[in-house]
Chain A
């Protein structure tokens, strides 16, 4: 009990000691605000660049009220089993973007070795190989090319990975799932 009391008093000491340090560190929030500002600027210029680029097969736009959350679409590349299909994705940007990658998920179900049933994507540039030089456009292009060239050695969807070697069957599966999913959107 005595030790408890001691701890309590220690805590209270800490608490009383805390406010002055907080007060002295008050300038800290300002750099954060500036950071958010620069993230905004970066995202806005990315949006501009993306709209001006006119890339076929990829698009993205912020949600109505939040520029930190985007919805994107990619369409399957020609001459792949995903040709003719279209997928919706969500991108959510952290406050320290572009130093940290955005969280990207498939909103449309995607039968792919590197995409799990929840739409999570296993793509190294969205994790440890992220570089602040990437942007929404390069992410979407990368995901688009990932569709046609999966990494079957470390799959999230083992069924898809196993089926990948049989492209005809795989195509059937993709079309079937996509047609099945499409009316939902």
Chain B
């Protein structure tokens, strides 16, 4: 019991030496900003789950913990931030001891399974001393109590974030590797030459489907199956996960949801094949992805 405590003490003291110059207030703000930024692109489900769970204090707390994985300094922050409260509560000579307890305590559940055990062992004594001093310690107590069962969720969240990032990277890499530039643009150019002489003159909307489809598949080969673009071809913004699984037209032309909505408000034709988004030919439906579309694909 004493041994790991000392370890925590020395470790923490080194942090204390380095980090106190940073303002108590500025760091949590920065941390929460970083959190918001990372949160933006995350799946809705995770965001909802989190929001329902967090009150203001815990949000602050968790944001520090979350950033811990990437930034060492937030360790220092969580160590420093708590003593600030502690100072108000208990300005006695014992303060430093309690401070260090708190510091190593706050850090422990996330460092290793070993220290998490110590953390939970130590916390009761720590909280009793706290609760005797003021009512505000109640919040502090509940923080640390929930902190541990929250740890798993946090990990999960982080893993989801990492998985998202990895998936995004993979997509990018795939696109980089795919032989898009030369061969495809060459064929595109060639077919464009063919197309604009003839294809645009006839009312391609009313033409038999098989005829223009062949032409058009040739004229937009990179939308079909060579690659799924990493950016929206219309607005050039990055496609997120929802966008990349969004296949609004059987011709395979992909675009982001914003541009799709914009086009629906306008003339509602797919930019890739100029057909109306609403009524596709029968049999083409199967190529649509059921996930983002409520229509049931026909077999």
Contact = CB atoms under 8 A, between A and B. Distances in A.
Nearest to B201: A151
Nearest to B259: A132
A103 interface: no
Contact of A132 (B192, B196, B200, B234): B234
Nearest to B198: A149
A45 B236 contact: yes
A42 B234 contact: yes
A67 interface: no
A53 B236 CA distance: 17
Given A41-B235, A124-B201, A132-B234, A145 B271 contact: no
A135 to B, nearest CB: 9
Chain B: number of interface residues, binned into ranges:
20 to 34
Chain A: number of interface residues, binned into ranges:
20 to 34
Nearest to A134: B271
Interface string A76-115: 0000000000000000000000110000000000000000
Interface stretch (B95-103, B262-270, B288-296): B262-270
A133 B233 contact: yes
A141 interface: yes
B240 to A, nearest CB: 15
Given A133-B253, A145-B197, 16 more contacts: A38-B237, A41-B236, A41-B237, A42-B234, A44-B236, A98-B234, A125-B200, A131-B269, A133-B272, A141-B189, A141-B193, A142-B192, A142-B196, A145-B192, A149-B196, A151-B201
27 contacts: A38-B237, A41-B235, A41-B236, A41-B237, A44-B236, A45-B231, A53-B185, A98-B234, A99-B234, A124-B200, A124-B201, A125-B200, A131-B271, A131-B272, A132-B263, A132-B271, A133-B233, A133-B253, A138-B192, A141-B189, A141-B192, A141-B193, A145-B193, A145-B196, A145-B197, A149-B196, A149-B197
Interface of B: 185, 189, 192-193, 196-197, 200-201, 220, 231, 233-237, 253, 259, 262-263, 266, 269, 271-272, 274
Interface of A: 38, 41-42, 44-45, 53, 55, 98-99, 123-125, 129, 131-133, 138, 141-142, 145-146, 149, 151
